[in-house]
Amino acid sequence: MRTILVVNPKGGCGKTTIATNLSGYYASKGVSVSLVDLDQQRSSYQWALSRPVGAPAITPYSEEIDSYDTQRVIYDCPAQIHIGLTTDLINKSDIIIMPINPSIIDHRAAFKFIFDIRGMIRADVCKQIQIGLVANRANKNFNSFHELDNFSKLMKVPIVTSLRSSQNYVTAANEGLSLFDMPHNRVATDLEQWRALQYWAEGKLLKKK
Ligand SMILES: Nc1ncnc2c1ncn2[C@@H]1O[C@H](COP(=O)(O)OP(=O)(O)O)[C@@H](O)[C@H]1O
Ligand SMILES: [Mg+2]
C-alpha cells in the first residue's frame, strides 16, 4: 500500500480534481485504489459514489479508517486543514502532491505551508517523503508561470506537471468520471499533461521500500 496526500490550504486550487483524476488513473490501470475524502464538502466522496456502473472501481471513504486494503490510498484534503491532522497525515504519506495556481498570492500561501510541512516531517521519514507541485490552470506563457518556476527553485520542490484550464475536468466530474474514463481522442491534450505526474508519482512510490 502506498499513500498519496493531495494537499494545499488554499481552496479551489484543484485538490479534488487531482485526487479524483489520479484515482481514476489508477483504477483504469487495474490498480486498486481508495479515495479518502477528508473535506466536509464531500466532493470527491460524492463523485466516487456517482460513478456509472461499469466504470473501473474506486473505493470511497468519507473519513479516515485504520487500514486500507488497496494498493494506493489517495487523501483529498480540505482547505482549512487542522494542524494535528496534517502532522499525522504528512508522516504517513509516501508522496505529497500540492496543486497550485500560478499566482503570487497562492505562491505566498504555499511558501508558508511548505515550510510548515517540512517542520512537521519526522526525522526518520524526512528523506523519504517527496513533495511535488502541480501547476493547475496554468499557461506556461504567462509571467505568473515563470514566477511559479522561480518559487519552485527557491523551495526546491519540483513542478511535476502543469495542467491547462480545461472543460474536460468539469464535464468528467459531472458524470462521476475521470479523464481516464473519457474517450481518449476527446481528452488527449489533457492526458498528455498527466503523464509526467503519473511517472513522477510511480517513480517515487516504487523506489520506496
Ligand atoms: N484544470 C482545470 N480546468 C478546469 N477547471 C478546473 C481545473 N482544476 C479545477 N477546476 C475546477 O475548479 C473548481 C475547484 O477545483 P477543486 O478541485 O474542487 O479545488 P479544491 O479541491 O482545491 O477546492 C472545480 O469546479 C473544478 O472543476
Ligand atoms: Mg476539494
Residue of 142 and 126 predicted with greater confidence:
142
Query: What atom in ligand 1 is closest to the CA of residue 76?
Result: 21
Q: Assign 73 to helix, strand or coil.
A: strand
Distance from C-alpha of 149 to C-alpha of 101, rounded to nearest angstrom: 12
Report angle CA 155, 157, 163 to the nearest 5 degrees.
125
Q: What percent of the chain has pLDDT over 90?
A: 78
CA–centroid distance, 159 to ligand 2, in Å, is 20
Residue of 99 and 117 predicted with greater confidence:
99
Whether residue 40 is predicted with pLDDT greater than 80 in this model: the reply is yes
Which residues make Cβ contacts (< 8 Å) with residue 155, sequence separation at least 6?
Answer: 111, 114
Q: Tell me what the mean pLDDT of segment 65-69 comes to.
A: 94
Whether residue 207 is predicted with pLDDT greater than 90 in this model: the reply is no
Whether residue 57 is predicted with pLDDT greater than 70 in this model: the reply is yes
CA 151 vs CA 12, 111, 120, 144, 158: distances in Å: 20, 8, 21, 10, 10
Q: Which three cell numbers stand for residue 50?
A: 456517482
Which residues make Cβ contacts (< 8 Å) with residue 131, sequence separation at least 6?
Answer: 95, 96, 97, 98, 114, 117, 157
Residue 95 is predicted with a pLDDT of: 95
Predicted confidence band at 7 (pLDDT cuts at 50, 70, 90)?
Answer: very high
Residue 127 is predicted with a pLDDT of: 67
Residue 135 is predicted with a pLDDT of: 97
Distance from C-alpha of 68 to C-alpha of 93, rounded to nearest angstrom: 13
Per DSSP, 52 falls in state: P
* CATH match for 2-207 among 3.40.50.10680, 3.40.50.300, 3.30.70.120, 3.30.420.40: 3.40.50.300
Query: What atom in ligand 1 is closest to the CA of residue 167?
Result: 4
Q: What is the pTM of this model?
A: 0.96
Q: Tell me what the mean pLDDT of segment 61-81 comes to.
A: 94
Q: Is 5 exposed, middle or buried (0-12, 13-18, 19+ CB in 10 A)?
A: buried
Q: Is 161's C-beta closer than 6 angstroms to any atom of ligand 1? A: no
Cβ distance 3 to 92 under 8 Å? Answer: yes
Q: Tell me what the mean pLDDT of segment 48-76 comes to.
A: 97
Q: Which three cell numbers stand for residue 181?
A: 474514463
List the single range of 34-38, 43-47, 126-130, 186-190 with lowest mean pLDDT.
126-130
Distance from C-alpha of 67 to C-alpha of 192, rounded to nearest angstrom: 33
Distance from C-alpha of 172 to C-alpha of 167, rounded to nearest angstrom: 8
Q: Is 100's C-beta closer than 6 angstroms to any atom of ligand 1? A: no
The pLDDT tens digits of the residues spanning 145-199 come to 999 999 999 999 999 999 999 999 999 999 999 999 999 999 999 999 999 999 9
Q: Tell me what the mean pLDDT of segment 18-30 comes to.
A: 98
Whether residue 32 is predicted with pLDDT greater than 90 in this model: the reply is yes
Query: What atom in ligand 1 is closest to the CA of residue 20?
Result: 17
| CB half-sphere exposure, 97, CA atoms < 13 A | 35
7, 8, 169, 194: residue to mutate for ligand 1 pocket, most atoms within 8 A of CB: 169
CA–centroid distance, 7 to ligand 2, in Å, is 9
Whether residue 203 is predicted with pLDDT greater than 80 in this model: the reply is yes
